[in-house]
Structure 1
Amino acid sequence: MRLLLVEDDVMLASGIKLGLSGAGYAVDWVGSGERALEAVKADSFDAAIVDLGLPKMDGLELTQTLRKSGHSMPILILTARDALQDRVQGLDYGADDYMVKPFELPELLARLRALLRRSQAATSSSISFGPITLDTAMRQAHAQTDKGQQPIELGPREWTVLEYLMLQAPKPAAKEKILAALTGWDKEITANAVEVYISRLRGKLDPHGVALRSIRGFGYRLELVSDADSEPSTA
């Protein structure tokens, strides 16, 4: 999942980005409303976290502009303003949720997960493909085996790649889209990095009967081994 963080306080933004990245999200950070509009024009995001007290264009104006421009991604407002009128105004301008500073990271993550589930019209916190299940609420992965559920250890970026592939399945996922899910707007990650994470995931999925097939010139697709026997995965 790719998030846009709009926060002008460098120290606070660094802490939030670190916490979100540690939870497996790809986070793009900008320090102004103007830069945020540039970012959403250039790329797509699954959700935005917006501070109200931004220079020039404040968070309310940014939220309203995004909605008027047709952007439907969930928007979570962060602010030091705790008056009822401020909260009502933020929601009326198009925000989906509102958190008052100071806040605890676990609550921010929980609210974010709830917004993402609602935006995807999900009825469960789980994503499944064959025997593989991702619990997006607990950030845990497991495979169903003859002996019950077996945990699958995933690094944050491995999680991001697998989550994207499972959300796309059974359709293939474009390599550039996977790259976009991994990288931040201000940080370059090469296409070779995608291949590294794909290779690692293959080693963790193959024992459970799930193949990660390469689609030449396009990207990758998850397949059950019984469906992919005649077309083995290649890097």
Structure 2
Amino acid sequence: MLIVDDEPALTELLSVAVTEAGWRPYPVADGHSALRAARGCAPHAVVLDGMLPDLDGIQVLRRLRYENPRLPVLMLTARDALEHRIDGLSSGADDYVTKPFSLEEVVLRLRGLLRGAGAEPLRADDSVLVLGDLVLSEETREVRRDGTPIQLTAKEFDLLGLLLGRPRQVLSKAQILDHVWSSSFDGGGNLVEVYISSLRRKIDKGRAPMIHTVRGVGYAIRPVEDGR
């Protein structure tokens, strides 16, 4: 979650809130840093302050929207006049919250934006993850894509569950090893590659790919509509 705000105290509060919601925060304090970060970290969404020390928030919004039309953007601003809200929304903001605001409201609005963009797994209940046409049931340990059952080994299932629980987030090999095996497990340098390759054969073969490699960083699962 890219957080763009030049107020350190507010940035810290937002970072804590999105972390507790299950997202990884990427805080930056100016518009140029925001544009660089958006290109590099593939954020779930952007929380964008309307008043920044270098570029105006609307300028940043328009550039973000030009480079990634599907990226959800929630604008935060102290300017609550109707014309300011109209300007932000007409420039490409998906939602608009004026200061002061509650962190709970920001998180709820972000969840709504992510669900609408297909970038966050929808939970049909507490044990089912859905991303696009891919469905994983933790209770029955069943996986389906486009209605077709997919047979996975125990570790393949755990790996897919980890990726689905953090859609679009790039996970490093070390993070995957730590969560799926354990930090003390020594399975060799190519263990993660082997399992990712196996998952791709079963999940993506003959279909639009959902599992992606970010060279030099790690792996991520993204909805097909993401287009990347």
Q: Deviations over 1:68-109 (max 9, x none)?
A: 234420100001111100000000111000001111111111
- Structure 1, gaps ≥5 residues long: 146-160, 169-176, 183-189, 201-212, 224-235
Q: TM-score normalised to the size of structure 2?
A: 0.63
Quick one: structure 1 residues 31 and 219, their matched pair in 2 at CA, closer, same or farther if it must change by over 3 Å? Answer: farther
Q: Percent of aligned positions with the same letter in both sequences?
A: 31
Question: Is the Cα–Cα contact under 8 Å of residues 215 and 221 in structure 1 kept in the other structure?
Answer: no
Equivalent residue in structure 2 for 1:77, among 46, 63, 75? 75
Quick one: structure 1 residues 28 and 220, their matched pair in 2 at CA, closer, same or farther if it must change by over 3 Å? Answer: farther
> Greater share of strand residues, 1 or 2?
1
Quick one: structure 1 residues 166 and 28, their matched pair in 2 at CA, closer, same or farther if it must change by over 3 Å? Answer: closer
Corresponding residue for residue 199 of structure 1: 181
Q: Does 1:216 align with 2:191?
A: no
Aligned-CA RMSD value: 3.7
Letter in 1 for 2:83: Q
Counterparts of 2:2 and 2:119, CA distance in 1: 20
Equivalent residue in structure 1 for 2:122, among 113, 122, 125? 125
- Structure 2, gaps ≥5 residues long: 141-159, 183-190, 203-228
Corresponding residue for residue 203 of structure 1: none
Corresponding residue for residue 161 of structure 2: 162
Larger relative contact order (C-alpha < 8 A, sep ≥ 6)?
Answer: 1
Please show how residues 45-124 of structure 1 align to structure 2 within 5 Å: 45-120=43-118
Quick one: structure 1 residues 191 and 22, their matched pair in 2 at CA, closer, same or farther if it must change by over 3 Å? Answer: same
Q: Does 1:14 align with 2:12?
A: yes
Using the TM superposition, give the Cα deviation of residue 217 of structure 1 relative to its aligned residue in structure 2, in angstroms: 7.4
Quick one: structure 1 residues 28 and 11, their matched pair in 2 at CA, closer, same or farther if it must change by over 3 Å? Answer: same
Q: Deviations over 1:145-177 (max 9, x none)?
A: 6xxxxxxxxxxxxxxx83633688xxxxxxxx7
Quick one: structure 1 residues 132 and 219, their matched pair in 2 at CA, closer, same or farther if it must change by over 3 Å? Answer: farther
Q: Deviations over 1:113-145 (max 9, x none)?
A: 1100111188x93268xx941499xxxx98446
Q: Deviations over 1:18-62 (max 9, x none)?
A: 111011101111111100111122231221010001112021110
Q: TM-score normalised to the size of structure 1?
A: 0.62
